[in-house]
Amino acid sequence: MFSIMETSWGRAMWNARDNLLDGLAITLQITGYGFVGALIIGLLLCLITMYVKPLHWPARFLINFFRATPIICQLMWVNYVWPPMFGWPNTLFEAGCVALAIQSAGYLAETFRAGIEGINRGHIEAGRSLGMSAQLIMRRIILPQAFHTMAPAIMNQFMVVIRSSTLVSIIGVSDLMHWGHHLSAEWFEPIGIMSTIAVFYIVVIWTLSSIFKWYSERLRNRYV
């Protein structure tokens, strides 16, 4: 019976399984750090544009710049321009995380703004009448309600970060896609190898999206 292990690319991937698993781990790490960074930067930019008037236009400029610049340009910029100018990032891994973070931060800032502006003003006024501070209102009233409307867009952007992470191999990060290119060039079997790499990404995206959906539903049941 025909099996994958009987093909040359199947044997190649089996022999390089340790490298592929290491590459998958790096892909998950760089995606996680990049997305968390995007959430933090995006939320900060959103709050600045909405509540810090003197910094409104600089923040808007950054949002538009991050959204309009291709991820590959940001990778090159962060990896090759930032170190001489700022002395950071110090590693290829850090450069990949930062580039993914700032690229998605612009989109998430707009997502957060739309979610916050959609909150019923009466709920905010009710919190103020109870003597709640602005920070407490944001944490207990605004963000939990806004998350319900923002969840699909946030999950979609998370998927974008995962797919964009495949480009970090261009600057030399040894992620899963890096090893896919390496094995394809070594064994001259790009179709079988890259198809299998694609399956890896499909499984990762499906698994993480299912977990995110479960968690968002749990929060919905908690706050609604």
Q: Which residues of the chain have pLDDT under 70?
A: 1-13, 16, 219-224
Q: Got the DSSP string for 18-50?
A: HHHHHHHHHHHHHHHHHHHHHHHHHHHHHHHHH
pLDDT at position 100 is: 93
pLDDT at position 129 is: 78
pLDDT at position 223 is: 55
Copy the structure tokens of residue 118. Answer: 């959609």
Asked whether the beta carbons of 171 and 79 are under 8 A apart, the reply is: yes
Q: What whole-number distance in Å separates Cα of residue 163 and Cα of residue 99? A: 13
Provide the whole-model pTM: 0.83
pLDDT at position 2 is: 45
- Give the list of residues 6+ apart from residue 119 with CB closer than 8 angstroms, or none: 141, 142, 145, 146
Q: What whole-number distance in Å separates Cα of residue 209 and Cα of residue 217? A: 12
pLDDT at position 63 is: 92
CATH 1.10.3720.10 holds for 4-223:
yes
What's the CA dihedral at 60, 50, 89, 29 to 10 degrees? -120
pLDDT at position 58 is: 92
